[in-house]
Chain A
Amino acid sequence: MSSSIETLINKEYQAGFETDIEADTIAAGLTEETVRIISAKKHEPEWLLDWRLKAFRRWQTMTEPHWPNVTYGPIDYQAISYYSAPKTKKPLGSLDEVDPKLLETYAKLGIPLTEQKFLAGVAVDAVFDSVSVGTTYKEELAKLGIIFCSFGEAVREHPELVRKYLGSVVPYSDNFFASLNSAVFSDGSFVYVPKGVRCPMELSTYFRINASGTGQFERTLIVADEGAYVSYLEGCTAPKRDENQLHAAVVELVALENATVKYSTVQNWYAGDAEGNGGVYNFVTKRGKCAGRKSKISWTQVETGSAITWKYPSVILQGDDSVGEFYSVAVVNGKQQADTGTKMIHIGKNTKSNIVSKGISAGQGNNSYRGQVKVLPKADGARNYTQCDSMLVGNRCGAHTFPYIEVGNNTATVEHEASTSKIGEDQIFYLKQRGLSAEQAVSMIVSGFCREVFKELPMEFALEAQQLLGITLEGSVG
């Protein structure tokens, strides 16, 4: 473990390569026509085109939000191409027909799409630029009635489910970036786990931005029917580029009565260089709805990449006795900025939420936790516990906390604990005196700090997250 971190520490952003592949990319610019082209390319039904157009018209009336604690230059939405797909000659019947160059790309990233992955017990859907290139283990899952496919395929094969749940948690009018996504989303993943089924393997999507001058606007929808259980992991990488790339995704989770959805993210989009050139703008809307009684939604995120991260995975606790959880590690180094946290909206009775946020700031990074806990008047006996810890590495970085608490019911219990610490010279010296390098020492101290969150991740991803942390903090100690 320590030796692999050490090797990784000395490497630069490893996912920063570009795949030379012929792509079908539409011209930059965003008009109603662009929305129609995207919809037509995907052979979508009329209702979906209408939904996109409503979103687009709404988006035109909105202005980009500037309340997050981040700074960046203006984004020219007309300079972005909203659709890019690797060229294929015919529709793909199976993974064997996927362009070998694509498979090679995922292999380089350590995401083999081949059946070997079966041994690891992980089913993978991979999204390359705008389209999904292959979903493994679909058949095995289908035997249990589990649907795990690209969003595009779900629209074709299961339109009734998509139509019922699309926008049910994040409406097309929700916010500037969600509306933009609703208008132009290209692909993403769809999961449906039927009543009483426990999904036997981790489901995973790997997102990759490849083409330059494009944005990625994927959309993920996960529905766990009554009594179902699913654990889902998303990973992200992009090539190194001098320009900033926009990633505006939407993720919607729905948990019906007694259902559990666990959603984990290891986000490693390209963060830009040391001077702050390039990197991904990660402006994402993620929200889950505990629609049924005793349902549970749990978000775990490890955010190490992106020039700017702007996301608040949230839970609407509508069903009585439902539970929402948010476990987060956000690391900034170099000139990265993150404004991230969660919203827990307590509507049902005896609803519970738990928030554990660990922010690590190094270099000249700026890290903000922003969280809202809202207890509505009918949420008798609602409980929230929030723990929000910041760690500073060096003295040129920043850590900020913006908690918002609104309680409308006097039987509710809301607790908030916060701490800020600094990695001490004494801690580093102690570990160095035992033979560890300064980098290993920081990596170990930070991993310890994040332990409560890492233990929520599936085992192999916890390891990956720990390694990423080491890479992100590379060079943060003098």
Chain B
Amino acid sequence: MLEIKNLHASVGDKPILRGISLTVNAGEVHAVMGPNGSGKSTLAQVLAGHPAYEVTAGEVYYEGENLLELDAEVRAQKGVFMAFQYPIEIPGVTNAYFLRSAYNEIRKARGEDEVDPMDFLDVMEEKLQLVHMSDDMLQRSVNMGFSGGEKKRNEILQMAVLDPKLAILDETDSGLDIDALRVVAEGVNAMRRPDNATIVVTHYQRLLNYIVPDFVHVLAGGRIVRSGGKELALELEAKGYDWLTETTAA
């Protein structure tokens, strides 16, 4: 589904990713871990197409297509979704209108009919339950005045509504208490299918207790320094990142 080959990216003149290679197949969950500044959020942003990052070398193929040539909205329409670490506030735009507009754009791109506001409410009903949100959330402005937990749940709600093929969760666990963490993880697990894939970017192991990955990759200095199974996350929890990062710095 996703093939990253020797990816280099920078912000301004500052190189951040320095040769990432990673293959993600349908049905898999990959965890990308690493200390602060290792480039794991940058990887998420680059895959989603954030304009602030410049790809300086390497290739990314998504479903056989050159992902880096596609505009951010086209990537989204083709099923790439990123749950933001810091969800953005949009004053005056209701969550319902925002979600329906996004839903319809993605349906249009798939050659499906747009859905009117009444039918959309039915779609929402079930998705709201998945993330334990009440429907008054729909009438509030996008992320305005939401608590940290509500914002993250709202990201997962969007993910559930848009039903992506490739979901990238960028530090979705940061700032969440254990209950919210569980709700978010349950939502993500409910969406796991053989035909989609998830990349979970996280600093801490604890999210991976709930979303169990098939593979764990450790990033340091813009490179993957170690890959392994879910047990690698536990090893990191016990030993910290230093034993891995020190070897690369040398």
| Segment among B18-26, B47-55, B173-181 that sits at the interface with chain A | B47-55
Count B interface residues, CB 8 Å: 34
Residues 412-432 (chain A) with a chain B CB within 8 angstroms: 424-427, 429-432
Which of B51, B101, B141 meets A2, CB within 8 Å?
B101
Q: How far is the CB of A280 from chain B (nearest CB, A)?
A: 29
Contact mask for chain B residues 85-109; partner A; CB cutoff 8 A; 1 contact, 0 none: 0011011110001100110111011
A451–B101 contact, CB under 8 A? no
Closest B residue to A451 by CB, please name it.
B92
A433–B101 contact, CB under 8 A? no
Q: A434-B102, A435-B76, A436-B102 are in contact. Are A429 and B50 (CB under 8 A)?
A: yes
Q: Which residues of B contact A431 (CB under 8 A)?
A: 90, 98, 102
Q: A429-B50, A433-B48, A436-B102 are in contact. Are A449 and B73 (CB under 8 A)?
A: no
Closest A residue to B71 by CB, please name it.
A432
A449–B105 contact, CB under 8 A? no
Please report the C-alpha to C-alpha distance between residue A427 and residue B50 in the assembled complex, in whole angstroms. 11
Please report the C-alpha to C-alpha distance between residue A431 and residue B143 in the assembled complex, in whole angstroms. 13
B92–A435 contact, CB under 8 A? no
Which of A424, A430, A444 meets B87, CB within 8 Å?
A430
Contact mask for chain A residues 10-43; partner B; CB cutoff 8 A; 1 contact, 0 none: 0000000000000000000000000000000000
Residues 379-436 (chain A) with a chain B CB within 8 angstroms: 424-427, 429-436
A448–B90 contact, CB under 8 A? yes
The answer to the question of B77 belonging to the interface, with a C-beta cut-off of 8 Å to chain A, is yes
Q: Which residues of B contact A427 (CB under 8 A)?
A: 88, 90
Please report the C-alpha to C-alpha distance between residue A426 and residue B52 in the assembled complex, in whole angstroms. 9
The answer to the question of A116 belonging to the interface, with a C-beta cut-off of 8 Å to chain B, is no
Please report the C-alpha to C-alpha distance between residue A429 and residue B53 in the assembled complex, in whole angstroms. 12
B88–A426 contact, CB under 8 A? yes
The answer to the question of A440 belonging to the interface, with a C-beta cut-off of 8 Å to chain B, is yes
Please report the C-alpha to C-alpha distance between residue A342 and residue B52 in the assembled complex, in whole angstroms. 41
Residues 322-337 (chain A) with a chain B CB within 8 angstroms: none
Please report the C-alpha to C-alpha distance between residue A437 and residue B104 in the assembled complex, in whole angstroms. 12
Which of A2, A437, A449 meets B92, CB within 8 Å?
A449
Which of A2, A3, A433, A449 meets B76, CB within 8 Å?
A433
Please report the C-alpha to C-alpha distance between residue A436 and residue B87 in the assembled complex, in whole angstroms. 16
Closest A residue to B80 by CB, please name it.
A433
Q: Which residues of A contact B49 (CB under 8 A)?
A: 429, 432-433
The answer to the question of B166 belonging to the interface, with a C-beta cut-off of 8 Å to chain A, is no
Q: How far is the CB of A449 from chain B (nearest CB, A)?
A: 6
Q: Which residues of A contact B50 (CB under 8 A)?
A: 429
Q: Which residues of A contact B81 (CB under 8 A)?
A: 433
The answer to the question of A452 belonging to the interface, with a C-beta cut-off of 8 Å to chain B, is yes
Q: Which residues of A contact B84 (CB under 8 A)?
A: 430, 433
Contact mask for chain A residues 117-150; partner B; CB cutoff 8 A; 1 contact, 0 none: 0000000000000000000000000000000000
Please report the C-alpha to C-alpha distance between residue A210 and residue B101 in the assembled complex, in whole angstroms. 38
A448–B102 contact, CB under 8 A? no
B88–A435 contact, CB under 8 A? no
Contact mask for chain B residues 189-202; partner A; CB cutoff 8 A; 1 contact, 0 none: 00000000000000
Please report the C-alpha to C-alpha distance between residue A252 and residue B152 in the assembled complex, in whole angstroms. 52
Interface centre among A426, A427, A436 (most CB of B within 10 A): A436
B104–A3 contact, CB under 8 A? yes
B92–A448 contact, CB under 8 A? yes
A435–B73 contact, CB under 8 A? yes
A444–B90 contact, CB under 8 A? yes
Residues 303-321 (chain A) with a chain B CB within 8 angstroms: none
Please report the C-alpha to C-alpha distance between residue A451 and residue B49 in the assembled complex, in whole angstroms. 30
The answer to the question of B82 belonging to the interface, with a C-beta cut-off of 8 Å to chain A, is yes
A2–B105 contact, CB under 8 A? yes
A447–B92 contact, CB under 8 A? yes
The answer to the question of A266 belonging to the interface, with a C-beta cut-off of 8 Å to chain B, is no
B71–A449 contact, CB under 8 A? no
Q: Which residues of A contact B106 (CB under 8 A)?
A: 435
Q: Which residues of B contact A3 (CB under 8 A)?
A: 104, 108, 114
Which of A424, A432, A437, A444 meets B93, CB within 8 Å?
A444
The answer to the question of A376 belonging to the interface, with a C-beta cut-off of 8 Å to chain B, is no
Q: How far is the CB of B245 from chain A (nearest CB, A)?
A: 29
Q: Which residues of B contact A451 (CB under 8 A)?
A: 92-93
A436–B93 contact, CB under 8 A? no
Please report the C-alpha to C-alpha distance between residue A9 and residue B84 in the assembled complex, in whole angstroms. 28
Q: A2-B104, A440-B101 are in contact. Are A434 and B162 (CB under 8 A)?
A: yes
Q: How far is the CB of A404 from chain B (nearest CB, A)?
A: 28
The answer to the question of B38 belonging to the interface, with a C-beta cut-off of 8 Å to chain A, is no
The answer to the question of A450 belonging to the interface, with a C-beta cut-off of 8 Å to chain B, is yes
The answer to the question of A445 belonging to the interface, with a C-beta cut-off of 8 Å to chain B, is yes
Please report the C-alpha to C-alpha distance between residue A461 and residue B50 in the assembled complex, in whole angstroms. 36
A/B interface sample: 19 pairs, CB < 8 A? A2-B104, A425-B51, A430-B88, A430-B90, A431-B98, A432-B72, A433-B48, A433-B73, A433-B76, A433-B82, A434-B76, A434-B102, A434-B158, A434-B162, A435-B73, A435-B102, A444-B97, A447-B92, A449-B91
Q: B-side interface residues toward A, CB under 8 Å?
A: 48-52, 71-73, 75-77, 81-82, 84, 87-88, 90-93, 97-98, 101-102, 104-106, 108-109, 114, 141-142, 158, 162
Q: Which 8 A-B pairs have the closest CB atoms?
A: A448-B92, A448-B93, A451-B92, A434-B102, A435-B105, A430-B88, A432-B72, A435-B76
